[in-house]
Amino acid sequence: MDFIGEKCAACHEVFTADDDIVVCPDCGSPHHRDCYMKEKKCANADKHLSGYKWARNKSTDSEGTGVKQQDITVRVCPVCKLPNLPESERCVRCGARLEDASAENGMHQENERPDMEYGPNAYTGIDNTLSFLGFDPNEDMGGSTLSEVLHFVRINTIYYIPLFKRMKDFGKRVSLNFVCLLWPELYFASRKMWFWALLAGIVKVILGVPSTALNFMDRFGDNDDLSFIIDTISQNKDFIFQLQDACYMIDWVVNIIFCLLGNWLYYRYVLKTLDKLHERGISVKSDPALITSAGGLKYTNILIMLAFELLLSPILVYFMVSILK
């Protein structure tokens, strides 16, 4: 696109043919390269969350002569309402056919783009092309809009959008979460679901006590300072082996249950957390950044959960030894 005659969004100087121009990938605002590199961000960055889009000055032509350029029409998607180029056959966002778009929505002028409550660039961390996968961002997902759910989930939304839609539309609860099959407590902790993380972690540590005790005996069997614990484990070795096999089977059953219901538990957690934010007057319109920070992934929680299990495990081993003594 020719920006000669337009103004730099940062310094507001008129572009000439000799200028090195860069364009913001989010809103399309043109800048001198030096201006953009100086601030390392778009001059209109504070407007991105509201869906701001730079528009060419109607009074300026491509040669900067001041002659009003010819308006350019766009085809508005009948599904997600995104304006597309006139020659487009399918929407670049959701893939819907645009053959009937002009008949249903009319041909809109480029600078008369229909207002959208939530623009595709309003979602930090979410791929703009696949933001809603063709779904209505204002659709009710059970007390919260789809856009609020997306803001909260942030990571892996391409997986969660259709999954949550099936749960809402058809009451579906069972799905596969392979992380929960192996480490349910770490999945829940990373998604900030501390109730389920602690519950799953405590159950996992309890079921792992027999194995931990046997490993403890093998590793510290020659340590006289731990003779009380080692002797007790050794005397009840056969029973602990049987208990280990039973706990191993129960652990797999518990993990399979979490594997099948983990996504549904997360869906319910998302909606409940958003309801609490709504009670405080927080919404995607008023404070989208706060909703985003309340959700998403927090990998440091995994380390916290592992440390918790590491501290709890020897305590429960000592408790078991005290009972068997």
Q: Are 159 and 130 in contact (CB under 8 A)?
A: no
List per-block mean pLDDT (blocks of 10 residues) for the chain, which spans 325 residues. Answer: 78 84 83 84 82 70 43 62 68 64 41 38 40 73 89 88 90 94 96 97 96 89 80 91 95 97 96 93 80 90 96 93 87
How far apart (Å, rounded) are the C-alpha atoms in residues 211 and 232? 15
Exposure of 185 by Cβ count < 10 A (0-12 exposed, 13-18 middle, 19+ buried)?
Answer: buried
How far apart (Å, rounded) are the C-alpha atoms in residues 118 and 50? 7
pLDDT of residue 2: 66
Q: Are 31 and 9 in contact (CB under 8 A)?
A: yes
Give the pairing type, strands 21-23 and 30-32: antiparallel
Q: Are 134 and 94 in contact (CB under 8 A)?
A: yes
Give exposure, 40-56, as e/b (b: 16+ Cβ within 10 Å): eebbbeebbbebbbbeb
Report if pTM > 0.95.
Answer: no
Strand partners, 74: 108
- The enclosing H or E element of 187 equals helix 184-190
6 CB-near residues (< 8 Å, 6+ apart): 14, 15, 30, 56, 57, 60
Residue with tokens 């696949």: 130
Its CATH architecture, for the domain 1-69, is 2-Layer Sandwich (3.30)
Query: Residue 5 carries which side chain, given as an amino acid letter?
Result: G
Parse the chain into domains and list their residue ranges: 1-69, 71-116, 178-324
pLDDT of residue 282: 84
**What are the angstrom distances between the C-alpha of 34 and each of 38, 89, 156, 175?**
6, 38, 35, 51
What dihedral angle (degrees, nearest 10) is formed by the CA atoms of 241, 320, 205, 240? 0
pLDDT of residue 312: 95
